[in-house]
Amino acid sequence: MTDGGCVACHAQPISGVAAELASRRGWRVEPPTTEVSQVTVSMNAGVSGFLQGRESGGLPDTHLYNTFMLAEMKMRPTLATDAFVSYLAAKQREAGNWHGFATRTPIQDGDINRTAMAVRTLAAYGAPARKAEFAHRIERAAAWLTGQTPLSTEERIMQLLGLQWANAHAPLRKTRTRELLSLQREDGGWSQTPHLASDAYATGQVLYTLSTLGVPASNHSVQRGAAFLLRTQGEDGAWHVKSRAMKIQPYFESGFPLGPDQWISQAGTAWAVMKTKGSAYLKRARKRMITKRDIVQAFRILLDRAVDIGYKAGHVAGQKTARRRARARSTK
């Protein structure tokens, strides 16, 4: 991290959340110490830019996922979270939403995602002295979310999560939840869009959302979704999700399996293991000779590769910085 690089939405934050939720269930997984450290370094490095309101290609998305992880871990506010909340307050649009520059699917698919995550951040880290202001900002964001028609599963679950975190518009949440359940495929999974096959990314997101909304693990749709994940987990512990994002960064091997699809597969694997709980789920797992150890193996892969991505991204960015400096010296 000393020469550059980044914390990636699909890597450290989402893997850290998966490990945190697993530990709450009593599963013995390696704590995401390095992930927390890398996220903390990334947030601290951004303080000056947050306070100046500087725009960049990764904002606000990366740090929204960072604070999502910190909130799920119930981490205390810091100077960095205070600065980022001030940044969000400055960047909220008149309509109530947040916007970004990047449009890489599915994580950076649109403003529904960003606005929902911003609600989570403001609800968790809004300064008590500005409580009334942030409550109003969350209310405006919820009103904007209510007026949106989600097209993808990512947008559907983010709209639901944003309204849940805002504690707003319960009737719409019920309607959207019914719609989400109706989109379950015959194989038990969910797809990212109506034109794609079911995968672990969409299915894991839906199961996490249903759990957050209070749908019990014994629910038939939840059990079918869990069974889909059990059937589709790879022998190495990961789930394969096909990449469909625009390629704008140099490709490198992070150590996660699945080659060019490894980055989104890491996110899919994290979502897949976030809310895999319930007695019926574990009963199905035993019948299929799959135990908690298989899921724990997925966590090991997630955490190891999230660390690799941080350091290797730093190495790639460091090389690019060195080349730029060399070119600058040669022109003097």
- Rounded to whole angstroms, how far apart are CA atoms 283 and 215? 19
- Per-residue confidence (pLDDT) for residue 288, from 0 to 100: 35
Report which of 277, 261, 317, 245 is spatially closest to residue 45, judged by C-alpha positions.
317
Q: How far is CA 73 from CA 11, 19, 119, 277, 297, in A?
A: 16, 10, 17, 18, 21
- Per-residue confidence (pLDDT) for residue 109, from 0 to 100: 81
Burial bucket for residue 291 (CB in 10 Å: 0-12, 13-18, 19+): exposed
- Per-residue confidence (pLDDT) for residue 6, from 0 to 100: 59
- Per-residue confidence (pLDDT) for residue 285, from 0 to 100: 36
> DSSP letter string over 94-114?
TTS----S---TTTTS-HHHH
Report which of 155, 149, 215, 148 is spatially closest to residue 181, judged by C-alpha positions.
215
Report which of 187, 216, 199 is spatially closest to residue 277, judged by C-alpha positions.
216
40, 14 in Cβ contact below 8 A? Answer: no
Integer-rounded Cα radius of gyration of the chain:
20
With a CB cutoff of 8 Å and minimum separation 6, the contacts of 270 are: 14, 15, 17, 18, 204, 302
- Rounded to whole angstroms, how far apart are CA atoms 217 and 128? 35
> DSSP letter string over 46-60?
THHHHHHT---TTTT
Which backbone phi and psi does 251 adopt, to 5 degrees?
Answer: -75, 140
Q: Which stretches of the chain drop beneath a pLDDT of 70?
A: 1-10, 275-332
Residue 210 burial (CB count, 10 A): 22
- Per-residue confidence (pLDDT) for residue 296, from 0 to 100: 52
- Per-residue confidence (pLDDT) for residue 51, from 0 to 100: 96
- What is the model's pTM? 0.83
Tens digits of residue pLDDT in 68-92: 999 999 999 999 999 999 999 999 9
The residue type at 113:
N
Structure tokens of 126?
């809004």
- Rounded to whole angstroms, how far apart are CA atoms 41 and 58? 16
Tens digits of residue pLDDT in 133-185: 999 999 999 999 999 999 999 999 999 999 999 999 999 999 999 999 999 99
Number of H helices, E strands in the chain: 14, 2
